[in-house]
């Protein structure tokens, strides 16, 4: 009884803290304030539920916390009033509507094909092609989506490699060279990374694998989407029609812009400034991550540690994505072919990019132009500082190999 009481109270406080962050966002960002407030109310309801459960299990303070939060919800909801729409804005909207109507009618009358091509620009997915040189920022991605993408990607590549799902998610965090992930990420809302077999709302993850009948990438991707979900109320749950299908994480290295992007489908999760090879020595093409190594060559005292603190070896084993202590080289053509990042950047990337992750090295900046940037970095559990806290360094070191990549 005592253990349950304390656990329910801790979860309630986590939900309340997460709700308060959403309330602050609602007050700062007036354009999306009502969406943030709706999310604030949903998360607050979860906090109220667990305060009730704590009270049922004998916590006398829980009732006081419950009443205080109830008042806070009412007060905070009343402080946010729907802004009045001015007469000028009404007129502007009518004018824009009339222009769109006349133009589309004109194109339809002259040539239906032209009409369809024009109107397709107003479909949300296609409208992003207008942003050719600047990624659009998506501010409304739930906190659990980024760690969920990382977890599903590791599960996806593991299943393709082993032709079966792991019995436990902890099989993804084995010792080198089977270290698909360094740690099981927290859910992004409650801060828990506990794994459960069924939903109870306590945070962490639900893992329910099923037998794999086929091993085609598309079908494995669909299976993985069902196997793991956040153990909190989220938009992926029934009766929602959003199944939260995912596309595995990929890395795109843009040699021309000297930038590395971590993406999932049309979303950019991270982008870093990098150094590439002198004399066009960094190869272009399709590769994948075949090794993840912490502190490469650190156990050989005579070496100068040219690969920094982390390494992601490519399927062409002469080359790697690694850290560097020569930070002045970042943004330049400075290496013998490898891709260099600052150590703090490669530590973050290392904690997100799993074994099997596809790597595209290109001179074509157009591969990034139509993608949108997820603005979730501030609350990330994958930052260099956070990943160092969660990573068992010794498990992912390779003590037997002297690496000689084209650094």
Q: So which residues are the catalytic ones?
A: 322, 338
3-state secondary structure of 397: strand
Q: Up-side HSE of residue 54: CA atoms within 13 Å toward CB? A: 23
152's tokens: 């599903």
Secondary structure E strands in 97-197: 136-138, 195-196
Q: How many residues does the chain have?
A: 407
3-state secondary structure of 340: strand
Distances from the Cα of 252 to the Cα of 259, 360, 363, angstroms: 8, 5, 10
User: Using CA atoms, how far apart are residues 342 and 373, in angstroms rounded to an integer?
Assistant: 21
User: Using CA atoms, how far apart are residues 245 and 240, in angstroms rounded to an integer?
Assistant: 13
Report angle CA 139, 230, 53 to the nearest 5 degrees: 110
Q: What is the dihedral sign for C-alpha 42, 48, 52, 54?
A: positive
Distances from the Cα of 101 to the Cα of 90, 94, 108, 137, 297, angstroms: 17, 10, 10, 29, 65
Task: Report yes or no: 305 and 403 within 8 Å, Cβ to Cβ.
Answer: no
Closest CA to 205 of 227, 183, 175: 227
Closest CA to 388 of 304, 309, 302: 309
3-state secondary structure of 306: coil
Alpha helix segments (H runs only) across 262-383: 343-352, 366-369
User: Using CA atoms, how far apart are residues 407 and 405, in angstroms rounded to an integer?
Assistant: 6
250, containing H or E segment: strand 250-254
Q: What is the dihedral sign for C-alpha 162, 166, 172, 178?
A: negative
Q: Up-side HSE of residue 48: CA atoms within 13 Å toward CB? A: 13
User: Using CA atoms, how far apart are residues 59 and 62, in angstroms rounded to an integer?
Assistant: 6
């Amino acid at each position: 009884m005592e253990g349950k009481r304390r656990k329910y109270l801790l979860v309630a406080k986590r939900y309340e803290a997460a709700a308060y962050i959403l309330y602050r966002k609602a007050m700062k960002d007036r354009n999306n304030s009502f969406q943030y407030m709706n999310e604030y109310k949903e998360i607050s309801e979860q906090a109220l539920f667990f305060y009730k459960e704590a009270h049922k299990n004998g916590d006398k303070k829980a009732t006081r916390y419950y009443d205080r939060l109830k008042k806070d919800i009412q007060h905070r909801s009343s402080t946010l009033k729907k802004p009045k729409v001015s007469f000028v804005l009404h007129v502007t909207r009518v004018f824009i509507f009339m222009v769109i109507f006349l133009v589309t009618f004109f194109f339809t009358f002259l040539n239906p094909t032209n009409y369809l091509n024009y109107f397709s620009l107003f479909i949300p997915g296609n409208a992003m092609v207008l942003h050719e040189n600047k990624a659009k920022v998506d501010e409304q991605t739930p906190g659990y989506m980024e760690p969920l993408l990382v977890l599903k990607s590791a599960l996806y590549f593991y299943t393709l490699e082993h032709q079966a799902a792991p019995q436990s998610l902890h099989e993804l965090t084995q010792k080198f060279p089977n270290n698909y992930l360094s740690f099981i990420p927290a859910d992004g809302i409650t801060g828990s990374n506990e794994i459960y077999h069924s939903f109870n709302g306590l945070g962490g993850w639900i893992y329910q694998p099923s037998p794999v009948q086929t091993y085609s990438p598309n079908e494995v991707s669909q299976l993985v989407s069902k196997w793991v979900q956040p153990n909190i109320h989220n938009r992926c749950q029934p009766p929602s029609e959003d199944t939260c299908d995912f596309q595995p994480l990929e890395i795109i290295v843009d040699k021309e812009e000297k930038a590395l992007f971590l993406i999932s489908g049309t979303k950019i999760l991270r982008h870093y400034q990098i150094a590439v090879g002198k004399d066009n020595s960094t190869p272009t093409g399709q590769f994948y991550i075949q090794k993840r190594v912490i502190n490469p060559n650190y156990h050989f005292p005579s070496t100068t540690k040219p690969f920094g603190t982390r390494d992601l070896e490519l399927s062409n084993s002469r080359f790697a994505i690694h850290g560097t202590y020569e930070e002045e080289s970042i943004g330049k053509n400075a290496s013998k072919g490898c891709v260099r990042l600052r150590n703090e950047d490669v530590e973050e990337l290392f904690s997100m990019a799993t074994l099997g992750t596809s790597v595209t090295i290109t001179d074509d900046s157009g591969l990034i132009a139509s993608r949108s940037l997820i603005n979730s970095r501030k609350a990330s559990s994958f930052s260099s500082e956070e990943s160092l806290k969660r990573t068992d360094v010794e498990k992912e070191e390779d003590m037997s190999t002297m690496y000689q990549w084209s650094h």
